[in-house]
Amino acid sequence: MTQPALVYDRVTVRHEAHAPPALEAVSFSIEAGEKVALVGLNGSGKTTLLMSAVGLVEHEGEIRVGEHVLSRRTLQPVRSGVGFLFNVPEDQLLFPKVVDDAAFALVRKGMSPRAAAGRAREVLGALGVGDLADSPLHHLSHGQKQRVALAGALVSSPALLLLDEPSAALDPPGRRELARLLSGLGAAMVVATHDLAFASDVCSRYILLDRGRVGYDGTDAAYVARCL
Ligand SMILES: Nc1ncnc2c1ncn2[C@@H]1O[C@H](COP(=O)(O)OP(=O)(O)OP(=O)(O)O)[C@@H](O)[C@H]1O
Ligand SMILES: [Mg+2]
């Protein structure tokens, strides 16, 4: 049997020592290739959960990403096996030119800049922004930046994608295209979203966070909709 893509075992995250925890005793296991929507009201802990999986916030309990138990020592292999989309694209766009940004994950893994740029152009094309590959990033709209950030997350074909509100800035055709593209990928993914139609197009399972705790974990989309 292949190992799970992501396992949380009683994970608690405190942003501040004296405030209630943002995540409390969260446990779940996501199989290889499984697509899970992470839902919940504003402030319920979705972004915190995604950030904890790649060590961007400190946690108690155990987080396993593929074969690695997350710790300071495993941070690098964990991060190189995960495609991460931040809620705010500017938080992850580093280079002045679109194609260089989208190619970065591959260059960091040792691919030649030329080959990496070729692959990045393909992914940008699949996300509807191929014609912007040579543009300066600061010329792009918010939705276009989100597509470029997503290209950077997808470019190295990671086994696990952690996507924070990937459809939030997209126009309706862009949203449909993204749902189709994500559905066709073999990667496991956790998609934090308020967009339940998008979630049901892409994901077969829902984890509902309620003030930092898992309030529901299952496949009943109608139940989830009634909870929100
Ligand atoms: N850097 C931080 N410092 C202190 N508290 C934080 C920090 N980041 C988040 N929090 C708190 O942690 C809780 C969970 O926030 P989080 O951003 O994970 O929620 P969310 O489910 O992603 O919300 P949204 O739907 O608005 O994106 C909130 O109470 C928030 O105020
Ligand atoms: Mg959030």
Residues of the chain with pLDDT below 70 are 1
Q: What ligand 1 atom has the least distance to the C-alpha of 212?
A: 14
Among positive and negative, which fits the CA dihedral 56, 129, 103, 183?
Answer: positive
Domain 1-81+163-228 is of which CATH architecture?
3-Layer(aba) Sandwich (3.40)
Residue 1: per-residue pLDDT? 63
User: Would you call 181 exposed, middle or buried from its count of C-beta atoms within 10 A (0-12, 13-18, 19+)?
Assistant: middle
Residue 217: per-residue pLDDT? 98
Q: Where in the chain is the domain with CATH 3.40.50.300?
A: 1-81+163-228
Q: Which residues neighbour ligand 2 (ion) by CB within 5 Å?
A: 46-47
Q: What residue owns the CA closest to ligand 1's atom 7? A: 15
Residues with CB under 6 A from ligand 1: 15-16, 22, 40, 42-48
Q: What ligand 1 atom has the least distance to the C-alpha of 192?
A: 22
And the tokens for 204? 């077969």
Predicted TM-score of the model (pTM) = 0.95
Report the residue among 13, 14, 42, 209 best suited for mutation to probe ligand 1: largest number of ligand atoms under 8 A from its CB: 42
The pLDDT tens digits of the residues spanning 17-26 come to: 899 999 999 9
Measure the CA–CA gap between 116 and 128, rounded to whole angstroms.
18
The pLDDT tens digits of the residues spanning 139-175 come to: 999 999 999 999 999 999 999 999 999 999 899 998 9
Which ligand lies nearest the alpha carbon of 57?
1
